[in-house]
Amino acid sequence: MSNVGFIGLGIMGKPMAENLQKAGHKLFVYDVVSVPQNLVAGGAVACASSKEVASKGDIIVVMVPDTPHVDAVLFGKAGVAEGLSAGKVVVDMSSISPIATKDFAARINRLGCDYLDAPVSGGEVGAQQATLTIMVGGPETAFERVKPLFEKMGKNITLVGGNGDGQTTKIANQIIVALNIEAVGEALLFAAKAGADPARVRQALMGGFASSRILELHGKRMIDRTFDPGFRIELHQKDLNNALQGAKALQISLPNTATAQELFNACAAHGGKAWDHSALVKALELMADFEIAKKS
């Protein structure tokens, strides 16, 4: 069993840390807001800073919202870098910029430690059920060392390549998810305006070629009007921003990613940055001046 540091105990980090604790790992935890009391009751040590977590843990997991937060956790005042000693592994499981990730990894490597970028997909339910998909970038030796921990948090665990490649994979994931939400939204809006019951349309499509997890879960959310997050629109905006900035640097065009981002922007303009990302359909509904509603 390892001494595991865990920084960032929000919607995702809390259940992920709980699963590591359940597996018998000793946890050293920190969150800038507050540490969940059930973790402390289960034996986790609540630390006063990321520095303290890094000095006590051998493998330090980070799960915070965005690139500037990871920067602050790693290199800010009383950050991880101040507490590290050689031979440890820093594992960033947040979804952030691949370009910044390469820089963070090089700076951690200079302290004699390994770095893995290991963002996840599967949402809060996947985190709770330990069924996350984990996409990893970094050295194979560090991957093998951390794999037993990954296996307590997820199911489909892949070493994609070097540092940054995990984050690049996560961006690819987020492009597919956003465009799929947009497609399901357009389809259900079309069907409802044409007079068909969107709930039955969704049911009819579930077994066919248009079937997807997004149609299943987010299609249901669109029909039931349940837009509590889940995955907040502002987090998906962050991911698509990384996609579009990356596309600019790579000199390629991602036209439909740009459209999906504009629809998220429209939701945010209507007070929706904390809505679940399935609420993208609301932007389509505004343009159509028509709202999907369940008939039966």
- Write out the residues near ligand NAD by the rule CB under 6 A: 7-13, 30-33, 50, 63-65, 69, 72-73, 94-95, 120-121, 123-124, 230-231, 235
Closest CB 205 distance from ligand NAD, rounded Å: 24
Closest CB 1 distance from ligand NAD, rounded Å: 24
Which CB atom, from 25 or from 51, has the smaller least distance to ligand NAD? 51
DSSP state letter for 279: G
Which CB atom, from 50 or from 212, has the smaller least distance to ligand NAD? 50
Give the contacts of 27 (CB within 8 A, at least 6 positions apart). Answer: 4, 5, 6, 17, 20, 21, 39, 43, 44, 45
Which CB atom, from 71 or from 291, has the smaller least distance to ligand NAD? 71
**What size, in residues, is the chain?**
296
Closest CB 108 distance from ligand NAD, rounded Å: 16
The gap from C-alpha 180 to its chain's centroid, in whole angstroms, comes to: 17
Which CB atom, from 47 or from 189, has the smaller least distance to ligand NAD? 47
Closest CB 48 distance from ligand NAD, rounded Å: 11
Angle among Cα 117, 122, 127 to the nearest 5 degrees reads 80
170 catalytically annotated = yes
Contact assessment for residue 21 and residue 150, using Cβ atoms and an 8 Å cutoff = no
How far apart, in Å, do the first and last CA atoms of the chain sit?
Answer: 53
Closest CB 146 distance from ligand NAD, rounded Å: 17
| Catalytic pick among 170, 248, 282, 294 | 170
Closest CB 173 distance from ligand NAD, rounded Å: 9
Contact assessment for residue 127 and residue 153, using Cβ atoms and an 8 Å cutoff = yes
Q: What sign for the dihedral angle of Cα 261, 264, 268, 273?
A: negative
SS3 per-residue string spanning 202-242: HHHHCCCCCCCHHHHHHHHHHHHCCCCCCCEHHHHHHHHHH
Phi and psi dihedrals of 122, rounded to 5? 135, -10
What are the residues facing 117 on neighbouring strands?
92, 137
Q: How far apart are CA 235 and CA 225, in angstroms?
A: 20
Q: How far apart are CA 171 and CA 140, in angstroms?
A: 22
Q: How far apart are CA 276 and CA 229, in angstroms?
A: 4
Which CB atom, from 8 or from 57, has the smaller least distance to ligand NAD? 8
Q: Catalytic amino acids?
A: 170
